[in-house]
Amino acid sequence: MNVEQLAEQLKRDSLFMRDVVRWETLPQKSAVYGEFPLGLDTRIQPLLKQRGIHRLYSHQAEAIETVLRGEDVVIVTPTASGKTLCYNLPVLSAITARPDTRALYLFPTKALAADQAHELYELIEGMGADIKTYTYDGDTPVAARRAIRQAGHIVVTNPDMLHSGILPHHTKWVKLFENLQYIVIDEIHAYRGVFGSNLANVLRRLIRLCAFYRSKPRFILCSATIANPGELASLLTGRPVTVIEKNGAPSGERHFVFINPQVINRQLGIRVGVLKTAERIASALLQNNIQTITFCKSRVQLEVLTRHLKDITRDVLGNAERVRGYRGGYLPSERRDIERGLRDGSVKAVVSTNALELGVDIGALDACVLCGYPGTIAALWQQSGRAGRRQSASIIFYIASSAALDQYIVSHPDYFFSQSPEHALINPDNLYIMLSHLKCAAFELPFEAGESFGINNSADEMINYLCNNDILRRVENRFYWSAEDFPASEISLRSASAENFVIIDITDAVRPLVIGEMDRYAVPMLLHQNAIYMHEGRQFQVERLDFDACKAYVRHVNVDYYTDADLNVSLSLLDISEETTNARGIRRHSGEVKVTALVKMFKKMKLDTGENLGFGHITLPETDMHTTAMWWTLPLDAAQPYTNDALQGGMLGIANLLRITAPLFLMCSPRDIAVVYQVKGSFTELPTIFIYDNYPGGIGLADKAFSLGELLLEQSLSIVSDCACQNGCPSCAGPVGEIGLEGKAMAGVILCQMIER
Amino acid sequence: MKTRLEDKLMAMAQAKQKTAPCSKGVLEQERAISVSHFPDVHDNIACALSSMGNNDFTAIGPSARILFMDTETTGLSTGAGTVAFLVGIGYINNGMLTVRQYFMRDYNDEPELLNRLKCILPHFDILVTFNGATYDLPLLKTRFLMNRMDPEPFMMPHADLLHMARRVFKLRLRNCPLSRLEEWVLGVHRTQDIPGMLVPERYFSYLKSGDLSLLDDVFIHNQQDIVALYGLMSTLIQMYEHPQTVTHHQDIYSIGLALEKKKQYERARACFSLALNGDCAYQSLNRLAHNYRKTGEYCKAAEVFKRMTQHHNSGVEPYIELAKLYEHRFKDDDKALEYALQAARILNGDGLGDALPVQAAQNALQCRCDRLLRRVKSGEEQQHGVHGKHQGA
């Protein structure tokens, strides 16, 4: 059976259809082509013809035209729409025309960089041109580095390497900096929050050095579908960027099937497991020889599902090999092998973690099974984009678990289909982040008086601060780095604070292994004694936390619960930047706060269902953090009619709902923000609900939440009123045990009271 | 020797305190220092340096002008933010070592300092440093680029004494920081030396206070380093030219290895012969034998390999080498087989177990034995009666 026939059969299967909450069919779309841009080197077009590319899609042609006009550009297109040509063609053309030309490619991960370099090699080989492309990262042998610095036309690297390996040593890269014409940054939607704020500052440093070497590079950026690609692109680059988002690539008919497995415990809102449902669907696809990718959220899920699928196909002909697992941690050669198998069709089913979500080239498949919500709508589109042939039909199954976000998506499919509402947020002017990079910049090149750092950011104030701290020295009108340190080594681009905790795996007592790092601010919540820490899908239990030495010792475990620490937070006001009152007398504020956090206990929660399995105590010192926040206050008379308990339960319910909706609309991980309610606010004296950025200095999340107006409240209300549970469940206001019998109802009542319309 | 140098340095430190610091511009000071306590350097230094390292300076000719250089910096990394605030150079003038130090009173003196360096470099033929290849030179090149100057002057021939010293002393001293070489090789003990890691901090303190005396020991340290550069170079040359005067056999053996690498077999052989009475006697014999083999003097090679077999810690190698020589060079299969069988006996009986290299050697040896055995047998079949004669030989 092909995809169409299978779809018809499923539609007639009443047992299957019982769980289907929405079946959406997107019609097929034919290709839109554009003129071949005249400005490209004449050697390029014959090469494309040789590779079977006779015409360019409209978005490719438009992107290339824009680049050739000298504009900075961001291309927003779905998976497999041929976006790499949008940057490879102008770059290769420029190098062919003037062999001194250099280009820098940035990818968020090493694996992706290696992949793209590989694709480039093939293209260049086809051209028969002498264009040298190298990946430059931590794995590059020292012996090869000199050649790369001197002779690499295209240097493919990641932001971390640019930050600590290239910029501080720019004098060794004179050729690159003097001749840098294009900076290509792919997957820019991955650069949000702290990572993006850091990258924006790394790019400020890069541009500053280019100015020193008198080169004026242009940016070519690519992004998955998000609400604000243009804004993100110009925040990252500090320039206006032209957005190209009309996709000209064709696609076949696509079926989206939203599945919500049956409830088996109505009280607790527990449903049939995702894995069981996924297993059934993936087996059916496999038996019909439909090439399928299944995305799992954990390594354990992946291994279980892979084993099951292998079991049902195992025979003497070795057909079990048609089923493969794919995740980080597999050897590169093994991964290449699987990717090849997917492209040539010898692998029929692959079970993957999000390792295959980003641009790794596996061609287009027929079907995609998604075990739960991957965290953002952009990722959901990217994962489902793995299925989608240009000519024939494809089918995508989204299976919801009992988790709150999963349930939100499955009961609001329109949220997925309508124009992407997610904003990728960054704050390049976060004082902590900017100051760290200003130090790096001063190390790389002395500052001149009056010089700016970023758009409209005079650096004077920060420079004075660094002078007063004897890190810079002013001589006449220039500021020189005057310290022994190597400032780039003090920043990790992927986390907020300089003081990181090291996570050490002591499962093998003889050979302890450092497996990760964590921000100081997140440590009390996530690495307290007995916490379950997840790393690359594996579970670890914290055996000991040495707070003074900044070390956490963990041991590998296999348990069916996760831990959730209870944070006692008090907030004090530093500054109010904006406030507004609606017709109901509800005030909404944004500003800066000091958060004093104390973690005293944690809960053990069952995986999947979120059931509470018990408590534990934590003894740790208080931590202080300055960050940005937004908060709502209820006027006293609005709260008057309710008992303290009712108010408490209702506000907790609203806080729980905001924890679901805020990450959705702010495109962040639930850990990036904190939602706190106080029946009598620390400084407001009124019932207050706070949302603040869980990073020192803030990364723009609370500001955005403020500017969303009442959207978060409206969405929260719709969840709580649409949820079928009686008195609250983990998918809406929270379980009864937590919010009380009246909690769910009260949350609804108070929300109605807060919303203007 | 030690006290004389120290006195001089102390006297100099006091003299410097009296010089009134001027407030602006590069500070330049010069001292002429006697280096007569170090070995005399004959005039073809370029040639001597060529046999000590990977670089070939012979094209420069017999009267090469040598410039010693050492820098003091504001940090350990070679990133763009690290500055060489003090650059010391040294050269021989009228039998004395002239040490000249260029010092940045502040950051804006850097272009001037680099300019003076740029002017002085072309007057010399070879730059001599200690670890300059990985540290001082990349750093100075960076400084040139940061000041929009062409780092071309540093493209001159360069001899890094760290690499040369490492070749000679690594067996005896393992790692070779300059201070250690100074003490163990030159016999100079610094008493009040400032540890290198404190140098940047001193400079920052000076910048804040303007008190130049904070840097007194940094200046002395830098000067001592340059004197030590001269001392080390002349001592190394002396050791290469006159290995018979070298005390430690390990050093002589190492020099032999270095010369062998440069294909100077005669000189290498002389070193190995000198080292035959010390700790590396067996290795020296081994190299000596291989040396003869390489130059085609097979009889002498065989002789030395035979001497090796009498050595108390003789391994299997000389037997194998002898088997090869007799098989391929002397065309004496019987003798070759005899040595091969002896080698096999040792290899099987030495309890080394099944380690892979041993197995590989065993396999190779087995092949050799089989081949020789076949040939000896077929030889016997062809000419009866010769058998006994061979056995007696």
Residues of B with CB under 8 A from a CB of A: 74-81, 83, 106-108, 138, 141-142, 145-146, 200-201, 204, 207-208
Nearest C-alpha in B relative to A479: B107
Gap between the Cα atoms of A639 and A650, Å rounded: 11
Nearest residue to A736 via CA among A619, A621, A653? A653
Q: Nearest chain B Cα to A468, which residue?
A: B208
Q: pLDDT: is B230 or A501 the higher one?
A: B230
- Given a cut of 80, is residue A633 above it in pLDDT? yes
**How many Å separate Cα B141 from the centre of its chain?**
25
pLDDT greater than 50 at residue A338: yes
pLDDT at B22: 43
- The distance of B26 to chain A (nearest Cα, Å) reads 15
On chain B, the residues whose CB falls within 8 A of the CB of A174 are 145
> How remote is the C-alpha of B314 from its chain's centroid?
29
SS3 B93: strand
Helices A743-754, A644-666: inter-axial angle, 10-degree rounding: 70
Q: d(Cα B321, Cα B343) in Å, to the nearest integer?
A: 10
Look at residue A530 and tell me whether its pLDDT is greater than 70: yes
Q: What pLDDT, in 10s, does the model give residues B291-327?
A: 888 888 888 888 888 888 887 767 788 888 888 888 8
Residues of chain A neighbouring B107 (CB-CB closer than 8 A): 446, 473, 475, 478, 480, 482
Q: How confident is the model at residue A138 (pLDDT cuts 50, 70, 90)?
A: confident
> Which of A193-207, A255-269, A434-448, B257-271 is predicted least confidently?
A255-269
What sign has the CA pseudo-torsion A399, A401, A402, A407? negative
* pLDDT given for residue A693 in this prediction: 92
Contacts 24+ apart (CB under 8 A), B258-267: B258/B51, B258/B52, B258/B167, B258/B168, B259/B51, B260/B287, B260/B291, B262/B50, B262/B51, B264/B51, B265/B291, B265/B294, B265/B295, B267/B51
Instruction: Report whether pLDDT(B392) > 50.
Output: no
Q: Which residue of B has its CA nearest to A166?
A: B79
Q: Higher confidence at residue A355 or residue B234?
A: B234
- For an interface test with B, the pick among A437, A481, A491 (most B C-beta atoms closer than 10 Å) comes out as A481
- pLDDT reported for residue A365: 87
Does residue A602 register a pLDDT over 80? Answer: yes
Residues of A in contact with B201 (CB under 8 A): 484
Gap between the Cα atoms of A337 and A593, Å rounded:
52
Pairing between strand A323-326 and A292-295?
Answer: unpaired
pLDDT of residue A688: 94
Residue range A630-639: mean pLDDT, rounded: 91
* pLDDT tens-digit readout, A211-227: 999 999 999 999 988 88
Dihedral (CA of B370, B374, B375, B379) sign: positive
Percentage with pLDDT > 70 across chain A = 95
pLDDT beyond 90 at A416: no
Q: Over the stretch A719-757, which tens digit does the pLDDT of each residue have?
A: 899 887 788 877 788 877 788 889 999 999 999 999 987
Find the mean pLDDT for residues A461-474: 93
Confidence of residue B13 (pLDDT cuts 50, 70, 90): very low
Q: How many CB pairs under 8 A join A and B?
A: 59
| Residues of A whose CB is below 8 A from B154 | none
Q: Model confidence at B1, in pLDDT bands (50, 70, 90)?
A: very low
User: CB contact, 8 Å: A170 with chain B?
Assistant: yes
Percent of chain A with pLDDT over 90: 44
Mean of pLDDT over chain A? 88
Residues of B in contact with A470 (CB under 8 A): 204, 208
Residue A357's pLDDT is 65
Find the closest chain B residue to A478 by CA distance: B108
Supply the Cα-derived Rg of chain A in whole angstroms: 27
The partner residue sitting opposite A171, judged by closest CB among B83, B142, B201, is B142
In whole angstroms, give the CA distance from residue A145 to residue A153: 13
Interchain contact, B108 vs A169, CB within 8 Å: no
B144, B146, B148, B206: which to substitute to probe chain A, counting the most A Cβ within 10 Å? B146
* Cα angle B217-B223-B224, degrees, rounded to a multiple of 5: 85
The per-residue pLDDT for B233 is: 94
Q: Is the pLDDT of residue A140 over 90?
A: no
ipTM of the complex model: 0.80
Kindly list the residues from chain B whose CB atom is less than 8 angstroms away from the CB atom of residue A168. Answer: 77, 79-81
> Hey, which residues 12-71 in chain A have their CB within 8 Å of chain B?
none
Nearest Cα residue to A366 out of A347, A338, A340: A347
- Measured distance CA(B389)–CA(B393) in Å, rounded: 7
**pLDDT for res A748:** 94
Whether A442 sits inside 8 A of B81 (CB atoms) is: yes
Q: What does the pLDDT read at residue B9?
A: 52
Separation of alpha carbons A204 and A162, rounded Å: 12
Structure tokens at B269: 């052989």
pLDDT band at B20 (very low <50, low <70, confident <90, very high): very low
Tell me what pLDDT residue A61 has.
95
Choose among A169, A482, A483: nearest Cβ to B79. Answer: A169
pLDDT band for position B218 (cuts 50, 70, 90): very high
Q: Confidence band (pLDDT; 50, 70, 90) for A495?
A: low
The DSSP bridge pattern shows strands A263-265 and A270-271 to be antiparallel
Test B141 with A171 for CB contact under 8 angstroms.
yes
Q: Which residue of B has its CA nearest to A172?
A: B142
CB contact under 8 A, A482 and B74: yes
B82 exposed, middle or buried (CB, 10 Å; 0-12, 13-18, 19+)?
buried
> Across the interface, which of A172, A445, A473 has its CB nearest the CB of B207?
A473
- Give Dmax over CA atoms of chain B in angstroms: 100
User: Between A443, A444, A475, which is nearest B107 by CB?
Assistant: A475
Name which of A489-498, A506-515, B367-376 the model is least confident about.
A489-498
| Minimum distance, in Å, between the CA of residue B141 and any CA atom of chain A | 8
Q: Which residue has the higher pLDDT, A532 or B115?
A: B115
Choose the weakest-confidence range: A72-86, A400-414, A532-546, B375-389: B375-389
Are the beta carbons of B204 and A484 separated by less than 8 Å? yes
pLDDT of amino acid B387: 46
Give A535's pLDDT tier (boundaries 50, 70, 90). Answer: low
pLDDT digits (tens, 9 = 90+) for B323-363: 888 888 888 888 888 888 888 888 776 655 455 566 777 77
**Pair A328, A320: CB distance under 8 Å:** no
Which among A176, A484, A489, A491 is the top mutation candidate for probing chain B, defined by the most B β-carbons within 10 Å of its own β-carbon?
A484
Tell me the average pLDDT across A422-439: 88
- Residues of A within 8 A of B138 (CB-CB) are 172
Distance from the A392 Cα atom to the nearest Cα atom in chain B, whole angstroms: 55
Closest by Cα among B310, B298, B284 to B336: B298
For B343, the enclosing helix (H) or strand (E) is: helix B333-349
- pLDDT digits 0-9 by tens, A8-59: 999 999 999 999 999 999 999 899 999 999 889 888 888 888 888 889 999 9
Q: Which of A444, A473, A484 sits opposite B80 (nearest CB)?
A: A444
- Nearest by CB to residue B80, choosing from A445, A470, A475, is A445
- Does position A4 have pLDDT exceeding 60, yes or no? yes
CA-CA distance, A636 to A642, in Å (whole number)?
A: 11
Q: Contact A686/A633 with Cβ under 8 angstroms?
A: yes
Minimum mean pLDDT among A40-44, A454-458, B31-35, B70-74: which range?
A454-458
Q: Give the residue, A329 or B230, on which the prediction is more confident.
A: B230
In the prediction, which pLDDT does B206 show?
A: 96
Asked whether the whole model's pTM tops 0.90, one would answer no
Q: How far apart are CA B229 and CA B188, in angstroms?
A: 12
DSSP at A152: -
On whether the CB atoms of residues A679 and A687 are closer than 8 A, the answer is: yes
Q: Which residues on chain A are in Cβ contact (under 8 Å) with B83? A: 480
Write down the pLDDT at residue A696. 83
Phi/psi of residue A308, nearest 5 degrees? -60, -45
| Position B21 pLDDT exceeds 50 | no
Flag the least confident range among A312-321, A360-369, A677-686.
A312-321
Among the partner residues B76, B80, B107, nearest to A170 by beta-carbon distance: B80
B81 to chain A, closest Cα gap in Å: 4
Contacts of A321 (CB under 8 A, 6+ apart): A346, A347
How far is Cα A568 from Cα A491, in angstroms, rounded to an integer?
Answer: 29
Q: Tell me the pLDDT tens digit for each residue of B246-300.
A: 888 888 999 998 898 888 888 988 888 888 887 888 888 888 888 888 888 888 8
User: Is A486 within 8 Å of B75 when comparing Cβ atoms?
Assistant: yes
Amino acid at B95: G
CB neighbours of residue B374 within 10 Å: 11
Residue B11 clears pLDDT 70, i.e. is over it: no
Q: B263, B314, B348, B240: which is closest to B304 by C-alpha?
A: B314
* Residue A271 C-alpha from the chain's centroid: 28
Residue contact A484–B76, C-beta within 8 A: yes
The CA angle A610-A616-A620, to the nearest 5 degrees, is: 120
Q: What is the pLDDT of residue A231?
A: 93
- Name the burial class of residue B265, with classes exposed (0-12), middle (13-18) and buried (19+) by CB atoms within 10 angstroms of its CB: middle
Q: Any idea which residue has 């094209």 for tokens?
A: B59
d(CA A575, CA A587): 16
Give me the pLDDT at residue B236, please. Answer: 92
Residue A86: is it exposed, middle or buried by C-beta count within 10 angstroms (0-12/13-18/19+)? buried
H-only helix segments in A421-480: 431-444, 460-468
Chain B partners within 8 Å of A487 (Cβ): 81
Nearest by CB to A484, from B74, B78, B142: name it: B74
The C-alpha of A161 sits at a distance from chain B's nearest C-alpha, in angstroms, of: 14
Most confident among A228-242, A371-385, A604-618, A693-707 (mean pLDDT)? A228-242
Tens digit of each residue's pLDDT (9 = 90 or more) over B132-173: 999 999 999 999 999 999 999 899 999 999 999 999 998 888
Residue of A417, A457, A424, A421 lying closest to A438 (CA atoms): A457
Kindly tell me the number of DSSP H helices and DSSP E strands found in chain A: 26, 32
pLDDT value of position B353: 46
| Nearest-5° Cα angle at B284, B280 to B288 | 180
